[in-house]
Structure 1
Amino acid sequence: MTETTQEMPERGLRHYPVPLFGMVMGLSGLTLAMRQGELAYGLGGAMSMALYFFTFAVFLLIGGGYLAKLIKYPGAVVGEWKHPVRLSFFPAISISMLLLAVATLERNESLATGLWLVGMALQFVLTIAVISNWIGTRSFQHGMLNPAWFIPAVGNVIVPIAGVPLGYVELSWYFMSVGLVFWIILLTLVINRLVFHDPLPGKLQPTLVILIAPPAVGFVAWLRLNGGDIDAFGRILMNSAYLFTAIVLVQLPRIVRLDFALSFWALSFPFAAATIASFRFAAVTGSATHKLFGLILLVALVAIIAALLYRTAKAALAGKICIPE
C-alpha cells in the first residue's frame, strides 16, 4: 500500500544535519594525505589537485545548504545546538575551513589566509561556546559522552598547521595549548566512559576512530611549532597515534557491519591524519618504515573514502539522509 503524504517521513532542508561537515573533513584529509604521498613517492600533484577542487566544491555545497537551513529554519539549527550529541559537530564547520586553508596554502596564500582567519575565529568562538555548554546549567549524562567530544576542543590543534607558515605563531601556540590540555582531559573521560559504562550506541560506534586524530594531528602541528624538528614529545605523539590506530583496527570489523549513518564519516579524517603524520615523520627522519606505513594507510584511506561516498550516495537516493531522528 502506498504511503500517504502524512505517513511519509518529513525530509529536506529542515533536517539538513551539521554532521555532514564530517564529509568535508574526511575529503580534506584525503587531499592532504594524497599530497604527502605524492611528495614522498615523487608522483607530481595531479591527484591531490583534483581532490582539492572536488573537496572545495563539496564544502561549498554543504556549507550553502546549511546556511540556507539557518536562514529558513533557524529553530532547527537551535535544536541541533541543544542536541547533546550534535552539539559537538558544530566545530566541524570551522575545522573544515582550517583544513581547506592548509590544502590551499601552496596554491593561493591569500585565499588560504582568508580561510584560516575565518576558521580560526570561528573555532575560538565555538570552542568557548561548546565548553560553556558542557560546564553550564545543562545536565549531561555519562551516556552522552563519546569521542566526538574531541572535535570542539581538541580540534584546536589543527590551527598551527597553516597558522605557523602564515606567520601567526603566538596564536598557533594558544590553540595548540588548548587542544593538548583538552586532549588529556577528554581522553581520560572518554576512556572511563568506554570501560566502565554502557557501550556506545550503534550510530556512535564509528566515532571510536576519532581517538586516532588528536595525537596524529598534534604531531603534525608540533612539527610546525618546533621548526620542523622531531623531539621526544613529537615521538610520543606519533607513537600514541599508532597505538590508537592499532586499537581501532581491532574494533573496525565490528563497526563496519553496522547500519550506515553519517557518523561513519568519522572513519575518514583520523586515518588521514595518521597517514599525513607517517609521511611527515618519514620526510624528516628518512625512515623507510614510516614511509611504508604512510603508503599502507593511504591505500586504506582511499578505500574508506570510496566506500563512504558510495554508501552516502546510496543512502541519499534511498531518502535516508536529511530525515528526522
Structure 2
Amino acid sequence: MQTITAIPKQKSIGSVQFLPVNLFASVMGISGLSLAWRQASKLFGTSLVIADIIGIAAVLMFIVLSLGYISKWILYPQKVKDEFKHPIIGNFFGTITIAILLLSSVVGTYSGLTGQVLWIIGTVTTLALSFIIVTRLLDGNHEHGHAVPAWLIPGVGTLDIAVAGGSMPFAWAHEINLLSLAIGGIVALVFLTMILSRLIHHAPMHSGLTPSMLIMIGPFEVGFLGYINFEHRIDQFASILFYFGLFLFIVLFFKVFKKSIPFGASWWGVSFPLAALSNAALQYAIFVHSWPLIAIATIILVLMNIVLVVLFVRTIKALFNGNLLKG
C-alpha cells in the first residue's frame, strides 16, 4: 500500500512581475498625509514630528516601490509595456510622477535644492505623460467602458505642478504653474464630463475600480490647492472649488466605502483624493477660522488617518499572504 505524505505548501509573497503600478498611489496618499499634518500644526498646534515621521515613511516607500518596479521593467519589459499601453491601467503611471511632485514638497522642507530638483523632474515627466495620454485618446476608437475616473490622474497630475511649485524661486516657474493649471483644469473638466456620462448612462464599473471613483474629487480639491498656491490668496472661486469637492466627497463616500468591495491595490486610489481634501479643508479652516470648518477639517483628517492605517495594514497582510503579487 502506497502511503501518501502531505507536504506543506511553501508560502511565497509572489513575483515582482505582478507588482501593480497603482501602488505608487500609496506614496501620494502618505505624502499628502505628511503635508496635512504640517497644516494641522498651524491650526491645532500639533507637533511637526508627526509630519516628519510620515514624510520619511513616504520617501522610503517610494524608494522601495521604485526599486521593485525598475526590477520589473528590467526583468519583464513586455509586462510594463503592456501596462503602459492599457487604456485604463496606463493612466496609473501618473501616480509615479505625482508622487515625485508631492515628495518635492515633503523633502523641500529640509533641503530646498533637493525639493527643487524633484519638482523639475516631476514637472517634466508629468507634462510628458499628460501629452502622451491625451494624444493617445485622440487616436479614437475607445470604448465607453474605458471612460473611468483613472482618466483624471494625468490631468490632476498637472494641477499638482502648481500645488508643489507655488514657492519655487525660478523666474520661469510662474508661467509653468500657469500652464499646468490651464492644462489640468480644462482636461479634467472635459474628462470629468465624459466619465460622469459613462457612469450615468452605462453599466456600473467593475467592483475593483469602485474605489477609484473618489478620484473625481481630485480636480476640485487639487485645483483649489494649486489655485491658492498660484494666487497666494483664497477668493470666492477657490471657495467654490473647495465646497463642490466636499459635496462630491460626501456623495461618493457611501458608494465607495462598502464592505462588499474586495480589497486590492486599487483601494489606494482613495488615499490621495482624501489627502487633497484634508489639506484643502485645513487650509480653508485656517483662512476662515470658524468652528464648523475647523470641525470638518478635523473629521476629514481623522478619517484620512484611519483609512491610510487600514490600507497599509491590509496591504502588508496581502503581501505576506501572497495575494498582492500573484498573477
TM range (shorter): over 0.9
TM-score scaled by length of structure 2: 0.93
Q: Using the TM superposition, give the Cα deviation of residue 270 of structure 1 relative to its aligned residue in structure 2, in angstroms.
A: 0.9
How high is the sequence identity, in percent, across the aligned residues?
28
Q: Using the TM superposition, give the Cα deviation of residue 3 of structure 1 relative to its aligned residue in structure 2, in angstroms.
A: 9.9
| C-alpha distance in 1 between matches for 2:324 and 2:96 | 19
Q: Using the TM superposition, give the Cα deviation of residue 129 of structure 1 relative to its aligned residue in structure 2, in angstroms.
A: 0.9
How do residues 70-81 of structure 1 correspond to structure 2 at under 5 angstroms? Answer: 70-81=73-84
| C-alpha distance in 1 between matches for 2:221 and 2:234 | 13
Q: Using the TM superposition, give the Cα deviation of residue 19 of structure 1 relative to its aligned residue in structure 2, in angstroms.
A: 0.8
| C-alpha distance in 1 between matches for 2:285 and 2:121 | 32
Find the counterpart in structure 1 of residue 41 from structure 2: 38
The one-letter code sitting in structure 1 at the alignment partner of 2:101 is L
| Structure 2 contact 97–157 (Cα < 8 Å) conserved | no
Which 10-residue stretch deviates more, 125-134 or 283-292? 283-292
Q: Does 1:205 align with 2:210?
A: yes
| C-alpha distance in 2 between matches for 1:2 and 1:204 | 38
Q: Does 1:244 align with 2:248?
A: yes
| C-alpha distance in 1 between matches for 2:294 and 2:50 | 19
Structure 1: gaps of 5 or more residues: none
| C-alpha distance in 2 between matches for 1:133 and 1:67 | 24
How many residue pairs end up in the alignment? Answer: 319
Q: Deviations over 1:57-110 (max 9, x none)?
A: 000000111112112221111011122221010111100000111122222111
Runs of 4+ in 1 over 6 A off after TM superposition: 1-5
* Partner SS for 2:46: coil
Q: Does 1:65 align with 2:68?
A: yes
| C-alpha distance in 1 between matches for 2:177 and 2:81 | 30
Find the counterpart in structure 1 of residue 179 from structure 2: 174
Find the counterpart in structure 1 of residue 223 from structure 2: 218
Which 10-residue stretch deviates more, 270-279 or 280-289? 280-289
Q: Does 1:231 align with 2:235?
A: yes
Distance 1:55 1:9, change over 3 A: closer
Task: Report which of the two structures shows the higher radius of gyration computed on alpha carbons.
Answer: 2
| Structure 1 contact 104–111 (Cα < 8 Å) conserved | yes
Q: Does 1:13 align with 2:16?
A: yes
CA RMSD of aligned residues (A): 1.9
How do residues 98-117 of structure 1 correspond to structure 2 at under 5 angstroms? Answer: 98-117=101-120
TM-score scaled by length of structure 1: 0.93
Q: Using the TM superposition, give the Cα deviation of residue 164 of structure 1 relative to its aligned residue in structure 2, in angstroms.
A: 2.1
Distance 1:269 1:2, change over 3 A: farther
Which 10-residue stretch deviates more, 67-76 or 297-306? 67-76
| Structure 1 contact 11–322 (Cα < 8 Å) conserved | yes
* Partner SS for 1:90: helix
Which 10-residue stretch deviates more, 63-72 or 174-183? 63-72
Q: Does 1:128 align with 2:131?
A: yes
Q: Using the TM superposition, give the Cα deviation of residue 222 of structure 1 relative to its aligned residue in structure 2, in angstroms.
A: 0.7
* Partner SS for 2:110: coil
| C-alpha distance in 2 between matches for 1:322 and 1:241 | 34
Q: Using the TM superposition, give the Cα deviation of residue 317 of structure 1 relative to its aligned residue in structure 2, in angstroms.
A: 1.3
Q: Using the TM superposition, give the Cα deviation of residue 126 of structure 1 relative to its aligned residue in structure 2, in angstroms.
A: 0.7
Find the counterpart in structure 1 of residue 188 from structure 2: 183
Distance 1:134 1:290, change over 3 A: same
Q: Does 1:262 align with 2:297?
A: no
Which of 192, 195, 199 is the aligned partner of 2:197?
Answer: 192
Structure 2: gaps of 5 or more residues: 1-5
| Structure 2 contact 159–226 (Cα < 8 Å) conserved | yes
| Structure 2 contact 155–183 (Cα < 8 Å) conserved | yes
* Partner SS for 1:259: coil
* Partner SS for 2:124: helix
Which 10-residue stretch deviates more, 274-283 or 161-170? 161-170
